[in-house]
Each structure stands twice: as C-alpha cells, then as structure tokens.
C-alpha cells in the first residue's frame, strides 16, 4: 500500500517532526501516530489474495439488476 499510495500518516508532523515546533507538547500528534501505526498493522495483515477472494465472494453473493 505504501509503495502505491505513500505514507499513511494522517498529518505531516507524524512523518516529519520538524514540520511543527509543537511536536514535543502535542497530544494530538500522539493520537495521529497511534492511528497511523494501527492502519499499518491492519493493512499489513491483509494479503492481495485475501482481498481478491473477498471481492469474488461479495460479487457472487450480490444481486445484479440490468435495466
């Protein structure tokens, strides 16, 4: 995912602490950092094969309407 999309960081200061001089005292940055780490964990736990299989299952079980 990171190769295609880049960093999952929701705000600049998570990847670049020099971006803001408030980093040492910023509680919001702590939350954003935890979010980034959790998103990375989730995405690294899913393989492309699992994603493909899931999509095939969803397509085969959905109703298709043609108008």
Q: What is the mean pLDDT of residues 17-29?
A: 96
Task: Look up the domain containing 14 and give its range.
Answer: 10-45
> Residue 27 above 90 pLDDT?
yes
Question: Could you tell me if residue 14 is inside a domain?
Answer: yes
| Residue 66: partners with Cβ closer than 8 Å, 6 or more residues away | none
pLDDT score, position 24: 95
Question: Could you tell me if residue 16 is inside a domain?
Answer: yes
Q: How many domains does the chain have?
A: 1
Question: Could you tell me if residue 63 is inside a domain?
Answer: no
Q: What is the mean pLDDT of residues 49-61?
A: 88
Burial 52-63 (b: 16+ CB within 10 A, else e): eeeeeeeeeeee
Decide: pTM greater than 0.75: no
């Amino acid at each position: 995912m990171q190769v295609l999309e880049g960093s999952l960081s929701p705000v600049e200061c998570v990847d670049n602490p020099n971006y803001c001089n408030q980093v040492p005292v910023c509680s919001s940055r702590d939350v954003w950092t935890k979010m980034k780490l959790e998103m990375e964990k989730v995405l690294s736990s899913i393989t492309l094969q699992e994603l493909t299989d899931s999509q095939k299952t969803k397509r085969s079980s959905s109703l298709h309407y043609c108008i």
